[in-house]
């Protein structure tokens, strides 16, 4: 019998040191391990299984909206990366360069893709001829590399997994509609599957993607009040299409440039799940994305019929939920702590007395509430409770987000409120990048977005310079 | 109305120039496009959809046998690659080296993974402690890079997609059992899903994987009589485990080295599908892996009710098969040629007269046979015919393989038969690498495998040197 190692090896409290708590959770819940190369991570089975569930749901949504998957190569010739001026300026400083193939020095350096706009543009320029070929709606699931200085698992790593959609359209309006459609898919995915409330909005020019005409974003708030960009969707206009000569012959016989979008979410979403829902006992996984939704733990397992009953329940539950039995010889106490750490939404305990009474105990990970249910009611109660957990997690996160959102009319008020209560600051802005820079300098906060669904005019003047305000902006200290 | 471009733009006949036929098919069936970097390819939606189906089936089989997916990093430090001597010797000459991160020259070169044994070993050495941690059965789906000199889409490319399984076991026997279990999964996958008959066997020492104790393989024969290695499964013994210090504490309290396997199949399987089943009209896809199993082509589409009927049939068929309707304004002739080129197993034609008679026409891609069926029988007839197509393709390929397999007792006979009829040559071998080298030199044939299920003693002497024969070997000219 192993010692109840997990029960003693507790994690740092999140209120004592949030960064340390985070690192403890990702390691002890066995989501990741560090790799031999600085800033890279190994996604362990439990971490990767969460990503697989993210992939499955999003991939289905992309396909339902007419998108097709492709696989582009990993390497980009330097000359290709340089074709669009803003883009190369944004990415060249942070790419990994391949200079040798085997023992041979290459005549042209190749970068490991940091993102694949230029590859898609080059390909699209070869395959698009007519308006009948449009729209082209491609996506790929892959990893990219960005040579970051400081890294943290899931949130910022040299290499990360993501999906990148790249689409071409006949008109600016079509591209804009696609950009916003995807933003909606991202937002509803975060809310309906990850139980993470998000603010949809537009990035300022300073914060938009290198080479984009407009970048839209979904922003969320972590437990520590810091903001996290959860996904972005870019409308490129015809800028890249002009640089890469991506054209089509329109119905009127004229040759026109295509309009382009790109959009992506990354394994960073797993970081968001951890930091929005986690607690001092570890991970708390939203049920719809949890690799295991119900963990069956037999109690007094050596007693006749207990393990058999546990397996029988697993088979029944397996028809409507992702379920496992832990039939190892570890103590129930070790198992309880382990699956709390791993954030399994529901634990099902079954022992000889329960069997006698035709019942079992369900323990919710979110509230730790114990619920006795009749074994006759598994099929109705478990899905109901899993839904209840999802809703509860979302509402708790929404409440926290609202509590951590305040408004400020002046830079002084801005600073004061943000210091007192880290979170979103709603403040008016004149549209000038100098004010953005000043707020960054004074309050260490960046503009997160100009929200779609919250355009109250808090005041008529920019919180920073006092000139006429153009728009409401959500600001925050961000990951 | 577009011209019937496809009908005039025919492909090279496979008997005139097989290599050119192959390139025509991969391009015109829109499986791949060439990438900006030499020897890399773009997997277009249709090509990638085949790979997605391969992934889905194999991933299910891996998970059913207890394997878990992970994601390892892309980059390997040079020092780590060098830890196992045979391995580095095998791979170092063909890896891509990253030497710069952004503007900074790296202190140690990093290679883009050509395969990930060293990464898995390093990770396993961190996470395996006790016999209770074994076996560890990990797999990943990713791409790797090998700096090949000559390349051909799917068959040999600088970068390719694959899955790589890496497992650790307590004993040599456990590792051997795993290696063979996976080989069986690969073989039955090829036969039951791709309709490709394979020869299972063991590689000679000359042909085994760099650093492996033993390599097992499945070998198939292409239309042109050349052999193709479709998948390999390696037993590493404890060689890597010793180099990387991967140990566990056994039940007896002693510290022991783990035993290891690795195994993989790649996008090369798509090349095999093309070259085993294809014909002069293009691709012929085995139904169980075809992205679209049934293509509904409305005839006289402008007539009232035809397109509606086509969509109605699509909805019905969609319940049990992968189906699409082509409702574009191209001619039926263009569509027929297009979906023949793309190898869609069944075409369903529906026109006003068919609707009147409550029937439709099914056209098999393999035999081009036309079958009239009542619309009442879609649910029974289509699955039956798809199965029949699978069986037919497999039997045809098996027959071709047998016809192209001959036996030889001497090197002279070997050479003569292989020149007359490219294919597998069955010949006895003494076990000496010098004979293998000589056969390679004289007949340009390599040993494909020592087959499991065919160990007839054709003669008592090695076909090359005349010394005592140890084993029967399948030889061939290979891709």
The pair of structure tokens assigned to B164 is 């790589």
Q: What is the CATH number of domain B294-389?
A: 3.40.50.800
Place of tokens 């294809």: B278
Tens digit of each residue's pLDDT (9 = 90 or more) over A264-274: 999 999 999 99
Q: Could you say which residues from 129 to 168 on chain B have a Cβ atom under 8 Å away from some Cβ of chain A?
A: 132, 138, 142-143, 145, 147, 158-159, 161
H-only helix segments in A214-302: 239-244, 268-277
| Facing residue for A93 by CB, picked from B69, B70, B103 | B103
Q: How is the beta sheet containing A370-374 ordered, strand by strand?
A: A323-325, A294-298, A346-350, A359-364, A370-374
Of residues B263, B273, B232, the one with CA closest to residue B397: B273
Question: Which residues in chain B touch residue A112, judged by CB atoms under 8 angstroms apart?
Answer: 74, 98, 112
B211 Rama sector, left if φ>0, alpha if ψ -120 to 50, beta otherwise: left
Count of alpha carbons within 13 Å of A210, Cβ hemisphere only?
Answer: 19
In this structure, are residues B45 and B161 in contact, taking their beta carbons and an 8 Å threshold? no
Q: How far apart are CA B258 and CA B52, in angstroms?
A: 33
In this structure, are residues A281 and A290 in contact, taking their beta carbons and an 8 Å threshold? no
Residue B97 and residue A100: Cβ atoms within 8 Å? yes
- Residue A42 to chain B, least CA–CA distance (Å): 5
| Facing residue for B40 by CB, picked from A48, A73, A112 | A73
| Facing residue for A112 by CB, picked from B69, B98, B161 | B98
- Residue A221 to chain B, least CA–CA distance (Å): 27
Residue A33 and residue B112: Cβ atoms within 8 Å? no
Q: Could you say which residues from 424 to 463 on chain A have a Cβ atom under 8 Å away from some Cβ of chain B?
A: none
Fold of the A405-476 domain = Translation Initiation Factor IF3 (3.30.110)
pLDDT at B2: 39
Residue A142 and residue B138: Cβ atoms within 8 Å? no
Q: Is B180 on the interface with A (CB under 8 A)?
A: no
Residue B33 and residue A123: Cβ atoms within 8 Å? yes
| Facing residue for B42 by CB, picked from A40, A123, A143 | A123
Place of tokens 């005039």: B8
Place of tokens 């890399």: B40
In this structure, are residues A69 and B49 in contact, taking their beta carbons and an 8 Å threshold? yes
Residue A338 pLDDT > 80:
yes
| Facing residue for B147 by CB, picked from A45, A71, A102 | A102
Tens digit of each residue's pLDDT (9 = 90 or more) over B281-291: 999 999 999 99
| Facing residue for B98 by CB, picked from A45, A48, A98 | A98
Q: How far apart are CA B115 and CA B95, in angstroms?
A: 10
Residue A387 pLDDT > 90:
yes
In this structure, are residues B284 and B277 in contact, taking their beta carbons and an 8 Å threshold? yes
Residue B71 and residue A43: Cβ atoms within 8 Å? yes
Question: Which residues in chain A touch residue B74, judged by CB atoms under 8 angstroms apart?
Answer: 40, 74, 112, 143, 145, 159
Q: Is B97 on the interface with A (CB under 8 A)?
A: yes
Antiparallel, parallel or unpaired: β A424-429 and A370-374: unpaired
Percent with pLDDT over 70 in chain A: 98
Question: Which residues in chain B touch residue A43, judged by CB atoms under 8 angstroms apart?
Answer: 70-71
Of residues B301, B306, B359, B308, the one with CA closest to residue B333: B301
Inter-CA distances, B187 with B232, B233, B451, Å:
10, 11, 13
Question: Which residues in chain A touch residue B127, judged by CB atoms under 8 angstroms apart?
Answer: 33
Q: Could you say which residues from 200 to 219 on chain A have a Cβ atom under 8 Å away from some Cβ of chain B?
A: none
| Facing residue for B102 by CB, picked from A73, A142, A147 | A147
> A14 φ, ψ to 5°?
-65, -25
> A170 φ, ψ to 5°?
-75, -30
| Facing residue for A127 by CB, picked from B33, B73, B104 | B33
pLDDT at B182: 98
Chunked into runs of 10 residues, chain B (479 residues) has average pLDDT values of 47 96 97 94 98 98 98 96 84 92 95 96 97 97 95 96 98 98 98 98 95 96 98 97 97 98 98 98 98 97 95 98 96 96 98 97 97 98 98 98 97 96 97 97 97 92 96 97
| Facing residue for A102 by CB, picked from B75, B95, B122 | B95
Question: Which residues in chain A touch residue B159, judged by CB atoms under 8 angstroms apart?
Answer: 73-75
Q: Could you say which residues from 5 to 44 on chain A have a Cβ atom under 8 Å away from some Cβ of chain B?
A: 33, 35-37, 40-44
Return the domain boundaries, chain B: 13-277, 294-389, 405-476
Percent with pLDDT over 90 in chain B: 94
Place of tokens 């993974």: B113
Question: Which residues in chain A touch residue B131, judged by CB atoms under 8 angstroms apart?
Answer: none
The pair of structure tokens assigned to A29 is 């819940």
- Residue A246 to chain B, least CA–CA distance (Å): 16
Q: Is B112 on the interface with A (CB under 8 A)?
A: yes
Residue A36 and residue B159: Cβ atoms within 8 Å? no
Of residues A222, A116, A164, the one with CA closest to residue A448: A222
In this structure, are residues A159 and A145 in contact, taking their beta carbons and an 8 Å threshold? yes
Q: How far apart are CA B151 and CA B221, in angstroms?
A: 19
Mean pLDDT of A30-59: 97
| Facing residue for B37 by CB, picked from A96, A102, A110 | A110
Inter-CA distances, B316 with B310, B322, B323, B380, B383, Å:
10, 11, 9, 12, 13
CATH of region A13-277, choose from 1.10.15.40, 3.90.180.10, 3.30.930.10, 3.40.50.620: 3.30.930.10
Residue A256 pairs in a beta bridge with A248
Residue A112 and residue B112: Cβ atoms within 8 Å? yes
pLDDT at B7: 44
Question: Which residues in chain B touch residue A72, judged by CB atoms under 8 angstroms apart?
Answer: 35, 42
Residue A372 pLDDT > 60:
yes
Residue A45 and residue B138: Cβ atoms within 8 Å? yes
ipTM above 0.85, yes or no: yes
Residue B71 and residue A143: Cβ atoms within 8 Å? yes
Best of A3, A29, A67, A71 to disrupt the B interface (most B CBs within 10 Å) is A71
First to last CA, chain A: 42
pLDDT at A172: 98
Q: Is A66 on the interface with B (CB under 8 A)?
A: no
CA B127 centroid distance within chain:
32
Residue B93 and residue A103: Cβ atoms within 8 Å? yes
Tell me how many residue pairs between chain A and chain B have CB atoms under 8 A apart.
Answer: 159
- Kindly provide the residue ranges of all beta strands, DSSP E only, lying in A333-436, ordered along the sequence: 346-350, 359-364, 370-374, 405-408, 424-429
Residue A71 and residue B51: Cβ atoms within 8 Å? yes
Determine the Cα angle at A234 with ends A232 and A238, to 5°. Answer: 170
Best of B32, B40, B45, B168 to disrupt the A interface (most A CBs within 10 Å) is B45
Residue A88 pLDDT > 60:
yes
Cis peptide before B295 (omega within 30 of 0): no
The pair of structure tokens assigned to A217 is 């974003």
Q: Is B76 on the interface with A (CB under 8 A)?
A: yes
> A399 φ, ψ to 5°?
-60, -45
Residue A161 and residue B37: Cβ atoms within 8 Å? no
pLDDT at B9: 62
Place of tokens 């804009």: A176
- Residue A19 to chain B, least CA–CA distance (Å): 23
Full DSSP string of A147-179: --SS-BTTTB-SEEEEEEEEEEESSHHHHHHHH
Place of tokens 């199993």: B293
- Residue A115 to chain B, least CA–CA distance (Å): 15
Helix/strand/coil (H/E/C) assignment for every residue in B370-406: EEEEEHHHHHHHHHHHHHHHHHHHHHHHHHHHHHCEE
Residues 6+ apart with CB under 8 A from A399: none
Domain A294-385 bears CATH identifier 3.30.450.20 = no
pLDDT band (50, 70, 90) for residue A249: very high
pLDDT at A9: 62
B429 Rama sector, left if φ>0, alpha if ψ -120 to 50, beta otherwise: beta
Q: How far apart are CA A61 and CA B294, in angstroms?
A: 23
């Amino acid at each position: 019998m192993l010692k109840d190692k997990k029960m003693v090896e507790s994690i740092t409290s999140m209120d004592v040191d949030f960064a340390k708590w985070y690192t403890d959770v990702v390691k002890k819940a066995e989501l990741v391990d560090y790799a031999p190369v600085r800033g890279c991570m190994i996604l362990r089975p439990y971490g990767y299984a969460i990503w697989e569930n993210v992939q499955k749901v999003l991939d289905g949504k992309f396909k339902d909206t007419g998108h097709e998957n492709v696989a582009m190569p990993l390497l980009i010739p330097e000359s290709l990366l340089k074709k669009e001026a803003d883009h190369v300026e944004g990415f060249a400083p942070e790419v990994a360069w391949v200079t040798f193939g085997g023992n041979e020095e290459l005549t042209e350096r190749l970068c490991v893709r940091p993102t694949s706009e230029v590859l898609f543009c080059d390909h699209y320029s070869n395959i698009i001829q007519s308006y009948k070929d449009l729209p082209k709606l491609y996506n790929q699931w892959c990893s990219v590399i960005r040579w970051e200085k400081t890294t943290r698992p899931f949130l910022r790593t040299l290499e990360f997994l993501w999906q990148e959609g790249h689409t071409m359209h006949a008109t600016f309006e079509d591209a804009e509609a696609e950009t916003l459609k995807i933003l909606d898919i991202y937002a509803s995915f975060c809310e309906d599957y990850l139980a993470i409330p998000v603010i949809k909005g537009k990035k300022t020019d300073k914060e938009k993607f290198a080479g984009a005409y407009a970048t839209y974003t979904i922003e969320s708030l972590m437990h520590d009040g810091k903001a996290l960009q959860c996904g972005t969707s870019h409308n490129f206009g015809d800028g890249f299409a002009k640089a890469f000569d991506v054209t089509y012959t329109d119905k009127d016989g004229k040759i026109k440039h295509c309009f382009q979008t790109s959009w992506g979410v990354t394994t960073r979403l797993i970081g968001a799940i951890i930091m929005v829902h986690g607690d001092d006992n570890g991970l708390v996984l939203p049920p719809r994305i949890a690799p295991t939704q119900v963990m069956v733990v037999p109690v007094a397992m050596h007693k006749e019929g207990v393990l058999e009953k546990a397996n029988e329940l697993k088979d029944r539950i397996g028809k409507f939920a992702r379920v496992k039995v832990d039939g190892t010889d570890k103590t129930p106490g070790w198992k309880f702590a382990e699956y709390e750490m791993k954030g399994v939404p529901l634990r099902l305990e079954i022992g000889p007395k329960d069997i006698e009474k035709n019942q079992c105990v369900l323990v919710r990970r979110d509230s730790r509430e114990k619920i006795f249910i009749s074994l006759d009611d598994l099929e109705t109660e478990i899905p109901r409770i899993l839904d209840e957990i999802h809703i509860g997690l979302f509402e708790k996160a929404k409440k926290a987000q609202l509590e951590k959102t305040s408004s400020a009319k002046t830079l002084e008020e801005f600073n004061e409120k943000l210091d007192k209560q880290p979170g979103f600051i709603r403040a008016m802005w004149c549209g000038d990048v100098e004010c953005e820079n000043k707020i960054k300098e004074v309050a260490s906060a960046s503009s997160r977005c100009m929200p779609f669904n919250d355009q109250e005019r808090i005041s008529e003047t920019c919180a920073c310079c006092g000139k006429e305000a153009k728009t409401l902006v959500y600001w925050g200290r961000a990951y």
